[in-house]
Each structure stands twice: as structure tokens, then as C-alpha cells.
Amino acid sequence: MSFGVRYAEAVATRGRLCAGIDPHAALLTEWGLPVSVDGLRVFAQSCVAGIAPVAAVVKPQVAFFEQFGSAGFAVLEETIAGCRAAGAIVLADAKRGDIGSTMAAYTTAWLDDASRLCSDAVTVSPYLGFGSLDPTVAVARASNRGLFVLARTSNPDGEALQNASVVGGGTVAQAIVDAAASVNAESSGTVGVVVGATREHGLDLSALGGPILSPGLGAQGATAADLARIFDGADVSWLLPAASRSILRSGPDVAGLRAAVESTRDEVEKALR
């Protein structure tokens, strides 16, 4: 099945929510865990047990594993495998972006079956030109996996670049959305975009034909009620709100994590009906 079909089946079964696994040092401490590889492993195992069986998409934040070096990557490999075994789509939040053979190598790491880091999808940055993502697009199409391209992020520093005008009119962010739509016209759902939920974005997403990952739900201030307004005009069947800290603060209790995922998902579904 194509990634678009797999995504649609997952959200039809489990609801529209991407739950993040962000083992931030402050959260490890909040959970009573050491800020070490041992603490990281316990944190990740609890998330796999509590989140992966109920969330449609699980998004490990790669940086929080990477900071522990090779041992952290080993925990990430275990986390990816555990989430996939529990039936969740795994989106590696790696935000990779480069050119040529380097981008091809990143693609192999995150989307190739031969890699222990292989996930169902990966976040990528198009700011070396959307064409720099061609190796990732090609592998995603061939392997029925996906990529999520940064378009209109929620950080204030991104506004000057993402809202800059391009030759012929429109903004950089809109050009990225349009390029993603062109890919999806040939392979529906392969390319998603990342558009923050914490403020108005000014994008026309009506022709995207792929998932819209929208971080910012919960701790960053966006509410489920904001979603329908902010994404008015978009096909909300593709909308994938993301929450991390607001869910993770319900840990370390596995049942608490599961309940937080379910209640957040239910709020989203009620708001978007």
C-alpha cells in the first residue's frame, strides 16, 4: 500500500493525532529518571507501551536520542521497532536536508529497510531547494513511505524566510506546498507538509493531497478548537495535529500516557467533525 493509503487507514482506525516522544532532560527529571542512556531507555520503553498501541502516528524527536551518541541511537532503534510492532506509523523527526549523495545517504538511514533506523516517514527541510529532496522522494515512492517537508513552521525566526516572496508571486512556504502537491498528483499522500497550529499561516492547502503535520497542540498553546479555524479551506481528513509535552507529562505511568493520547485524540476528532 502507498503511504497515503496507510496513513488514511491508520487515522480511520485510531483517529487524527501524532504523539511525540521527546525525551527532553527536563521530562526525564520530571519522571524521576536520570539524564542518561539508562533514563532514556526507561522513558522510551514507557512511551512505547503507553502511546504506540493507541496513537495513529508516533513521532520520536531524533535530537533527544542523538545527544547521547551511539547509545542513544541504539535506544532510538529499539523505540522505532517497538512502535511499529504496536501498529503505529513511525515518523522520525530528524529534519534532514542536504544535497546530492549526502541527502541520498540520509534517505538510506531513515527510509531504507536495510537500516535499523528505518521508519515509515521522516521530516525533511527543503531550504536548499525542493529539488534537493529528489532522492528522498524517489525512495519514499518506491518503498511506500512518506516524508514531511517543513513549510510554515511555528518558530518566529522562520517567518522572514518562509513568508518571503518568490519570483512570479506567492511566498516561499506556498511554493513548497505547491511542489509537494505536484508530487502527490502522481503518488497521492507521499509528501506531507509541516504547518504549525499556533498561528495563522496564510497558505492554500486545498490541492496538497497529502498529510498536514501540525505541531503545537497542547504545551505550545494551540487547542483542538483552533484547528478548524486555522485550517479552514484545507482537507482536514489529511490534518494530523501533533502533541508531545502535554501527553508526556502524564507519565511515567503507562496508563496515564495512554489516557492522555485518547483524550487528546477525542478532543481533536470532536473539533474537526
Active site residues: 95
Give the closest residue to 53 by CA, choosing from 18, 88, 15, 19: 88
Give the closest residue to 7 by CA, choosing from 269, 241, 212, 211: 211
Are residues 144 and 137 in contact, defined by beta-carbon separation less than 8 angstroms?
Answer: no
Helices (H), 86-205: 100-111, 134-143, 159-162, 172-184
Number of residues in the chain: 273
3-class state of residue 259 by DSSP = helix
The residues that bridge with 123 in the sheet, in sequence order, are: 148
The residues that bridge with 215 in the sheet, in sequence order, are: 242
Are residues 247 and 220 in contact, defined by beta-carbon separation less than 8 angstroms?
Answer: no
The residues that bridge with 217 in the sheet, in sequence order, are: 222
Give the closest residue to 187 by CA, choosing from 145, 131, 150, 234: 145
3-class state of residue 92 by DSSP = strand
Distance of alpha carbon 83 from the chain centroid: 14
CA distance 28 to 51: 17
